[in-house]
Amino acid sequence: MAEISAALIKQLRDKTSASLSACKKALEAADGDLELAIQKLREQGAVSAAKRADREAREGMIVTTYTPSRNAAVMVEVNCETDFVARNDDFIKFAQAVAALALAKRTPTIEALRAAMFEGMYDNQPVEKVAEEMVGKVGEKIEVKRIVLIEAEGGAVIDYVHPGAKLAAMVQLSGNGSDLSQIGKDLAMQVAAASPLVIERMAVPRESIEKEIEIYKQQAANDGKPAQVVERIATGKLEKYYQDVVLLEQAFIKDNGKTVTDVLKEAGEKLGAAVEVKRFERFQLGEK
């Protein structure tokens, strides 16, 4: 058997980020052949990934990144099994690299992202393959779970990531990107904190409205209210429902005396052009 030097072990570790003990074992099994040892580590990662495929991975981090002009941005969720691994440098580096690749390639779906090839890192392998290898390094299931890509023409995409990287949001606004940073950050925080469902009232699904009305009517009827009063109560409570789920009608998180509509109007007056929310997205870690 070839002598396995400390320098050779370090070289393998630098190439793969695997543990020193795993590198030593792989080199011993490969009789000192560096490339064969790399392959063995990859095979071990694939085996580990297969064994952990049915395990639940609901920890991890959410990463956002954007172009310098903010005309495009992505938000990616990468999962692991424990918060301990979520704070691991190798895991964080991988999650950030995945987000950067998603933006560079403009991958619109999770399937496209998993198949996308790294360039100049991770031996130019596809994301899904590198995720498998990560399992061998960190000892937990790793899953690139979801992505959203927003491209803004004539506007900007502003992001907000809550400390801890377990909650994040992005908002697409119309107007000049350089002027929209503050209002955009405020609204991204609004989306993260208040979790709206839609931008405006007309976008609320009809079935959701009917479901809410039936709930309110049943509650009022159970209290013995007359039919006319039941209708009035249902109508009033429906207005409160809109204020909860419609972004433009929500109370602004920095000043609950104003609505988001009020804040947008003030921003438009300050900037000299109307500011409009075109789209928003919100990720909370571990959502199904």
Q: Which of 51, 66, 88 is the last residue of a domain?
A: 51
Instruction: Return the CATH number at 223.
Output: 1.10.286.20
What length does the chain have?
Answer: 288
* 137 and 216 belong to one structural domain: no
Residue for token pair 């399992």: 135
What is the three-state SS of the chain?
CCCCCHHHHHHHHHHHCCCHHHHHHHHHHCCCCHHHHHHHHHHHHHHHHHHCCCCCCCEEEEEEEECCCCCEEEEEEEEECCHHHHCCHHHHHHHHHHHHHHHHHCCCCHHHHHHCECCCCHHHCEHHHHHHHHHHHHCCCCEEEEEEEEECCCEEEEEEECCCCCEEEEEEEECCHHHCHHHHHHHHHHHHHHCCCECCHHHCCHHHHHHHHHHHHHHHHHCCCCHHHHHHHHHHHHHHHHHHHEHHHCEECCEEEEEHHHHHHHHHHHHCCCCCEEEEEEEECCCC
* 147 and 58 belong to one structural domain: yes
Instruction: Return the CATH number at 107.
Output: 3.30.479.20
Looking at residue 50, its pLDDT comes to: 45
| 258 is a domain residue | no
| 162 is a domain residue | no
Looking at residue 55, its pLDDT comes to: 63
Instruction: Return the CATH number at 12.
Output: 1.10.8.10
Looking at residue 48, its pLDDT comes to: 53
* 74 and 145 belong to one structural domain: yes
* 47 and 58 belong to one structural domain: no
Looking at residue 124, its pLDDT comes to: 94
Looking at residue 194, its pLDDT comes to: 97
| 137 is a domain residue | yes
* 35 and 62 belong to one structural domain: no
Task: Report yes or no: 80 and 147 within 8 Å, Cβ to Cβ.
Answer: no
| 200 is a domain residue | no
Looking at residue 214, its pLDDT comes to: 84
Domain that holds residue 133: 54-151
| 78 is a domain residue | yes
* 99 and 146 belong to one structural domain: yes
* 38 and 64 belong to one structural domain: no
| 239 is a domain residue | yes
* 34 and 88 belong to one structural domain: no
* 121 and 34 belong to one structural domain: no
| 180 is a domain residue | no
Looking at residue 250, its pLDDT comes to: 98
- Number of domains into which the chain is organized: 3
pTM equals 0.79
* 61 and 113 belong to one structural domain: yes
A 10 A CB-CB count for 193 gives 15
Q: What is the pLDDT along the chain (288 residues), one digit of tens a residue?
A: 567 888 888 887 777 666 677 778 878 888 788 888 777 777 666 445 445 555 677 899 999 999 999 999 999 999 999 999 999 999 999 999 999 999 999 999 999 999 999 999 998 999 999 998 888 778 888 999 999 999 998 889 999 999 999 999 999 999 765 589 999 999 999 999 999 999 999 999 999 888 888 887 787 777 777 766 667 777 778 889 999 999 999 999 999 999 999 999 999 999 888 999 999 999 999 887
Residue for token pair 């954007």: 66
